[in-house]
Amino acid sequence: IKNNVNSICETLSIKEDKEKICFYTLPLEKIQNFSHLLQEVDTASDLQEIAQILGRHFYWLWNIRDFRITLRSPITGEETFFEFKAGKLTRTDEPASPSKECSKSCSFTLEVKGEKFGCICFEKLEASLHQEVALYVSLFRQRFENFFYRHLETSGKALVLDLLPVGIIRLNKLGKVLQLNAFAKQALKVKSELRGLSFKNILSNIIGLDLGTEWDNFLTRKVNSFSRLYCPLGPEAEVAKSPCFNFSASWITLEGVEQILVIVQDIQEIASLESEIVYQKNFLSVLVSSMQDVVLTVDKEGQILFTSPSLDHLKGKNFFDVSTPSSALSFIWGPRILEESVPFEIKLALNGETLSLEIVISPIRESATYLLVGRNLTLIKRLEQKIREQAVFDHLSRVYNRHQLAVFLEREVQRAKRQGKKVGVIFFDLDKFKNYNDLYGHQQGDEAIRRFGRILIRNSRQGVDFPCRYGGDEFVLLASEVEEKTLEVIARRVRSDFDKEFKGELSLSIGLALLKEGETGEQMVSRADEAAYKAKAQGGNKIVWG
């Protein structure tokens, strides 16, 4: 059954909507009926007519008279909104909340291959009708996709042709008009299409321009091109307001048929266009000069055609000769890379400095060249390093922060258990720190924290001890591969250095702990914390084991 239905669907030029509904589960008569009804969409001229078609069909088929439609315009790309109330169609540019409406259970999204063309939303839809409506919408979705791209191809092209700031006139090989755009009509001061009329006679009769024998020679292929200037300036004419057009014609072949293309250009605009071009050139030059990124264009062999001002000395050289890849590439270093879409890093010498750049390549198809934009990674890498440091280090003391202590603690405890070695912690609590702050101020208090951080760093064994700020005026030194005696030696060394630095204005209450069997790292730190608390309770400036 499925194969038969699929075969009939193929004959009707419809496809299954795999995400929504399988046609072979529905009556064949429904599929044929809906498909034939929706042929109206193929002849629709605009979105308004399509909305009217849907309104008629929903009323005929299911007596549905209240619903909303969102359709994307093939010309503007914007969504157009229609609403039916009691069967009456209205169009609105500002719907209340289309996104919420299209997310309701009684709505159907018009989406094909991931591209959304709109949606249909019902005030309410009986459950018994849901499958039939889903089938209809599935078939409509495919018809609307065809409508969308057909109008995009035809109406879109025609609109673009009419919007061009030059006149386009297409003639047959006898010189008779086949088509002309809006600008050409404006230049000739006509509103009609002039189809089938002689181009030579049109210019002679309408604007009084005689093309002479030169046009005849062009039609007979004695010359390959034709150009004629039309500037009807009289003695009292105002030059600034007088029209001045250039008509240029050339032979083309369209779908295997020889035709003539006439370009009508208002040369009054040329001066202002030249000024605009100079302005844009200067603007782009300033823009490129102001960019932190490096900009180059190269040909297909890698020869540098254009550069940022700072790289002007590279112009004319080969990009692959003056730069080197920063790391091994999965492809050969050379022009073949220009076809790759993956960014890569290079080193480039500039003013005695080697820059590290990330190169992004964009092909400029019209000129068979490539745009290379190089982002200077130096500042980015510095910023990344700063972010990494902020995530790991305490910004004030420059020792590791509490979060990093937890990371080190878990790693070193596991290593100690695995290798059968000991690990311990020294907990430091600054005595009289509050009085120090009150006496000298918070800035000096912060400086005291920084000074103690430096003391911990210079008294730590590199790669073995990990000094961390626990919080406030509390610090922890995590020591791996350590015995009880060694741990106490480190603590006394730190205290001695601290006393020399602060000369009795501050002192340290110190708690020591070694990891016990079956104990977690957090429990070991907690014991050391309690020991430091006992040292402080005994008057401070003491070392107590926990």
pLDDT digits (tens, 9 = 90+) for 17-34: 544 455 556 677 888 888
pTM beyond cutoff 0.85:
no
CA angle 500/504/510 to nearest 5° reads 85
Superfamily per CATH, domain 167-232+242-270? PAS domain (3.30.450.20)
Domains 2-159 and 167-232+242-270 share a fold: yes
Is the pLDDT reported for residue 97 higher than 60? no
Please report the DSSP string for 490-521 in residue order: HHHHHHHHHHHHHTTSSEEEEEEEEPPTT--H
CA gap 70, 118 in Å, rounded: 5
Q: Which residue has the higher pLDDT, 407 or 332?
A: 407
Half-sphere exposure of residue 272, counting CA atoms within 13 Å on the CB side?
A: 5
Is the pLDDT reported for residue 461 higher than 50? yes
Is the pLDDT reported for residue 102 higher than 70? no
CA gap 515, 422 in Å, rounded: 7
The full set of domain ranges for the chain reads 2-159, 167-232+242-270, 292-380, 393-545
pLDDT digits (tens, 9 = 90+) for 435-446: 999 999 999 999
Give the range with max mean pLDDT: 204-218, 343-357, 365-379, 469-483. 469-483
Architecture of domain 393-545: 2-Layer Sandwich (3.30)
Mean pLDDT for the stretch of residues 206-220: 90
Mean pLDDT for the stretch of residues 5-26: 51
CA gap 416, 478 in Å, rounded: 12
Q: Of all residues in the chain, what percent carry a pLDDT higher than 70? A: 85
CA gap 84, 64 in Å, rounded: 9
Architecture of domain 2-159: 2-Layer Sandwich (3.30)
**What is the CATH code for 292-380?**
3.30.450.20
Evaluate whether 327 touches 395 at the Cβ level (below 8 Å): no
pLDDT digits (tens, 9 = 90+) for 272-312: 566 567 667 777 777 887 787 888 899 989 999 988 887 88
Q: State how far the alpha carbon of 345 is from the alpha carbons of 328, 370, 373, in Å.
A: 10, 17, 11
